[in-house]
Structure 1
Amino acid sequence: MKKRFNTAGTCIPEKHYMADTTEKVDQIIRLIEQDSYFTINRARQYGKTTTLLLLWRRLKDSYIVINISFEGMGTDAFRSEDSFVRSFCSRVEKDLKLSGYDEEKQQMWRCRDSGVSLETLRDRNIDFCDNAKEVLLFIDEVDKSSDNQMFLNFLGILRELYLERARGRITFKSVILSGVYDVKNLKLKLRPDEERKYNSPWNIAVDFPIDMSLSVAEISGMLKDYDAAQDFTMDTDCVAQEIYRFTSGYPFLVSLICQWIDERLPKDISTDEYWTPWGVRAAVREILKHTNTLFDDMIKNLENYPVFRKFIEGILFEGIQVPYKRSNPEINMGVTFGIVGEEAGLCRITNIIFETYLYDHFITDKTIQKQVLLSSRAQFIRNDGLLDMDIVLEKFQGDPRKMRRSM
């Protein structure tokens, strides 16, 4: 099967051209071997799910790896302990089956009893780990329902199991929670009339300092894999450098540029001419004309958080220099969404593509708003360019017939 560049879902080494992230995976494995519990929290489409797949492939022969996701677990699953535990155990059972583990291990997570609770989940974990080789738990999209007390209770169970290891209890060797938001700093709202408060029992987790962005060398390695399957030769290092210049190594954007060059740019010239710095720039121009799931998500976040939008506009249009301090909620939000990064101790937009797309978006907004304002003013101007006071007074007074009907 011919490989292609992938920008939708998990990347699979046999099907897709991928950067060789072995060094990053090795660093994560070292954390696992230290029995660490931690969170991989990075912006959307930053390669988190693919990284969990690569970890599973590397570790499945040495450990029992439970690799599940909270994707698709609706709010009903978090309404009670019974519904949550049944949903969680069902996902674990299905994953063990897909991974080829025997029926006995699958049955240990089967919920036949009525009225199961988080205590049931705790006991299932202890029984399973007592009867198996070392067990790893990976949970992807863990923040899908994180604004929920049941989720905090679940984290509390994981924390309790972690602490019991000090007393010789056999539990999960390592737990990885993957998502956009850092569950160590959950901002939880328990009741509609209550202010949001920071509260999380995930303080047992170690920091995750690994840079998940792709380096020039990693991008070049992916291009060499592609180049080996073609009937032409490109300067992979030169092209990788140009891709990095526009993306700063954001994995989705790297793959998107490659996908445009390989599949979407018009083939009025030979393909090898596109695999040049000029071709990279041509792909970027086309990408900026269109939208995609990452751009849509970025704009949605700007529209949902007006103060954050003002902060980004200040960086782009006013050139304000803001010290990079993640304790500030707007800066932390920008880092979480992958929009804000750090350079020389100051906040900056993380890459040229984001910077250009946001700048164009804001300019378009302001232009349209100005045009609408001018159109509304035009009705009050006479042909000679002077203000038509009769129309002004008429609009000011309103329709007398409507006024009488309302009295």
Structure 2
Amino acid sequence: MSRWFNTAGPCQADTNYMLSPTSRLPDLKRLIEQRSYFVIHAPRQTGKTTAMLALAKELTSSGSYTAIMVSAEVGAPYSHDPGAAELAILDSWRARAKFHLPADLQPPTWDEVPPGRRIQAALQGWAQASPKPLVLFIDEIDSLHDEALISMLRQLRDGYSDRPTNFPLSVGLIGLRDVRDYKVASGGSERLNTSSPFNIKVSSIILRDFNASEVEELYQQHTDDTGQIFTPIAIETAFNLTQGQPWLVNALAKEVVEKMVKDTSVAITHEHILKAKEILIARQDTHLDSLAERLREPRIRAIIEPMLAGLELGNVPSDDIQFVLDLGLCKMDPQGGLTIANPIYREVLPRVLTVTPMASLPKIAPTWLTQEGELNIDALLEAFLKFWRQHGEPLLGSAVYHEIAPHLVLMAFLHRVVNGGGTLEREYAIGSDRMDLCLKYGSVTLGIELKVWRNKKGDPQQEGLEQLDSYLARLGLDSGWLFIFDRRTKAPSLEERLSTQITTTKNKRSVTVIRA
């Protein structure tokens, strides 16, 4: 049977290329032997469910445990009715046990007990009836909210001291977040902000992404099955773009081998991976779409907006920083500072934020193209100045992130320019006080730097020239554009300040300074 790269749901060994499901969770068996209760959290589609299904099967097959992966998701509609949530959850658990456990390990009939005690009573009865110690992995735990969630956690805590003969030997809660970030509506907060309802946990474990050798191992499985080779530079590019995020690693390969290069005698190259990246970003598959949707959450916006603007984070709670790390949206750079988790996410985030400005753009004739279809830089600049003079300031209000509204409107304009014929890449970082853009269209590459002149700050032109000089050097270019958006409260009118000037950097690169 053919195997495929998987981008939807848990992997199945007979149909999917997959790594050892538990290799990224090496200490779980020790935790279980120690009768520990623990939390495993990681972003969606990183392999949590696959790993825990495999571990449960392995533990049960060993003959030492009754181990099963169950889910709390069916209780989600009943967040304010714990009793109804309990009934739905226990019915789901019984059905799952019927399919995944031998008859002698399945739970007995649940005892009739009052609402708010049913989970605890059911697990007591199951642990007592099981000939082997009961190990329970509860997936999608953070799909529960409010009273249903608190009830579940407290029942687990209350039964904890009776393990292993009268309660599960070990319980793992599996979800997107650590316990303190579970959603509850109490005390004016949308989060639990504490681990106290589940303070019996020994540890919280984050399922890590693939490392470079694991990406190579996964892609090698396709080569072994089909003979189609991923060149070393293609594998390296895939890892660099994804930083090992499992869904992205699989999605890139799936796009290439199933749609772009179906002939298995043709090797997969660096260029194929880059093209697949552009397709994924443009298509906004569910994984990327759900990631982008979070940008509207205030606590995430408080981090991503200054990051895109190149500003300092300011007084952001440490819990919020941990939250974006747990979601896999950001990571801590080894050289210091918070950064976007991988280059694909770094492209997706600002592109998503330009959707509304792009939808608001007027019809623009492509006057920047020559008769041969090449990009004319001078004509592009003229078209932008005309566009900004007529539509720039009204469009600023369409941007979701006001701090970088000019950046988003400019990027929306440039996306219209490159649509179907080029690419627009971005670089930004906390504290850099700038955003860099690289526009590529045919044989033309244009390096652009964006600076903002803010209240109580000096003219950023000199700093911008120095930063752009360095950026152009990395791109191997002798010229570029420097945008200075004047966002001071008492800035001159647009007609007065909209201007261009050609100057030279200290390394003799020509720069067109555009004040807008």
Q: TM-score range by the shorter chain?
A: 0.7 to 0.9
Q: For 1:54-100, what per-residue CA distance to the aligned partner results, in whole angstroms no more than 9, with x for missing partners?
A: 2122212231113211223342375143x233223212211221024
1:349 is the counterpart of 2:344: no
**Retained in 1: the 8 A contact 2:71–2:141?**
yes
Q: Which structure carries more relative contact order (alpha carbon 8 Å, separation 6+)?
A: 1
Change (3 A) 1:302 1:233: closer
- Listed one character per residue, the Cα deviations across residues 125-152 of structure 1 (whole Å, up to 9, x for unaligned) are 223212321111111111112x212321
Structure 2 match to 1:108: 108
Aligned to 1:30: 30
Task: Find the residue that maps to 2:200 and give its secondary structure.
Answer: coil
- State the Cα RMSD in Å: 3.1
Do 1:322 and 1:347's aligned partners in 2 also have CA atoms closer than 8 Å?
A: no
List gaps (5 residues or longer) in structure 1: 379-386, 388-407
Q: Which residue of 1 aligns with 2:327?
A: 337
Structure 1 or 2: more helix by fraction = 1
Contact kept in structure 2, 1:41 and 1:178, CA below 8 Å: yes
Alpha-carbon distance between aligned partners in 2 of 1:317 and 1:203, rounded to the nearest angstrom: 39
Structure 2 CA distance, aligned partners of 1:180 and 1:24? Answer: 16
Task: Write the distance in 2 (CA, Å) between the matches of 1:211 and 1:119.
Answer: 31
The equivalent residue for 1:205 is: 201
Structure 2 gap ranges (5+)? 364-387, 395-494, 496-516
- SS of the equivalent of 1:198 reads coil
Distance in 1 separating the partners of 2:99 and 2:268:
40
Deviation at 1:258, TM superposition (A): 0.8
Out of 155, 169, 191, the position equivalent to 1:173 is 169
Structure 1 pair 105–64 and aligned structure 2 pair: CA distance change class (3 A): closer
Indicate whether 1:316 and 2:308 are aligned.
Answer: yes
1:259 equivalent in structure 2: 254
Tell me, what secondary structure is at the counterpart of 2:6? coil
| 1:278-319 deviation per Cα after TM superposition (whole angstroms, max 9, x unaligned) | 22112112212211111211221112x24532531322332x
Contact 2:142–2:182, Cα closer than 8 Å, also in 1: no
Q: Which amino acid aligns with 1:276?
A: T
Query: How far, CA to CA, are the matches of 1:210 and 1:306 in structure 2?
Result: 24
2:244 alignment partner, SS class: coil
Matching residue within 269, 282, 291 for 1:276: 269
The answer on 1:92 being equivalent to 2:93 is yes
> Which segment drifts farther, 350-359 or 198-207?
198-207
Cα deviations by residue, 1:29-68 (Å, 9 ceiling, x for unpaired): 2222222111111112221111111212221223111321
Which whole-Å deviations, capped at 9, do the CAs of 1:236-263 have from their partners, x for residues lacking one?
x543322110001111101100101111
Counterpart contact for 1:40–1:178, Cα < 8 Å: yes
Q: 2:9 aligns to what?
A: 9
Residue of 282, 285, 308 corresponding to 1:289: 282
The alpha-carbon deviation at position 159 of structure 1 amounts to 1.1
Q: Which amino acid aligns with 1:290?
A: R
Secondary structure class of the residue paired with 2:135: strand
Aligned length in residues: 364
Query: How many percent identity over aligned positions?
Result: 24
Q: Mapping of 1:8-407 within 5 angstroms?
A: 8-61=8-61, 62-76=64-78, 79-81=81-83, 83-102=84-103, 106=106, 108-110=108-110, 113=112, 116-132=114-130, 133-145=132-144, 147-165=145-163, 170-190=166-186, 194-196=188-190, 198-199=193-194, 200-235=196-231, 237-265=232-260, 270-271=263-264, 273=266, 275-303=268-296, 305-306=297-298, 308-318=300-310, 320=311, 322=313, 327-343=317-333, 344-363=335-354, 365-366=356-357, 374=390
What secondary structure sits across from 1:229 in the alignment? helix
CA distance in 1, matches of 2:109, 2:141: 20
Q: Is the 8 A contact 1:19 1:219 kept in 2?
A: no
Flag the 1:376–1:288 CA change in 2: closer, same or farther, 3 A: closer
Q: Going by fraction, where is strand more abundant, 1 or 2?
A: 2
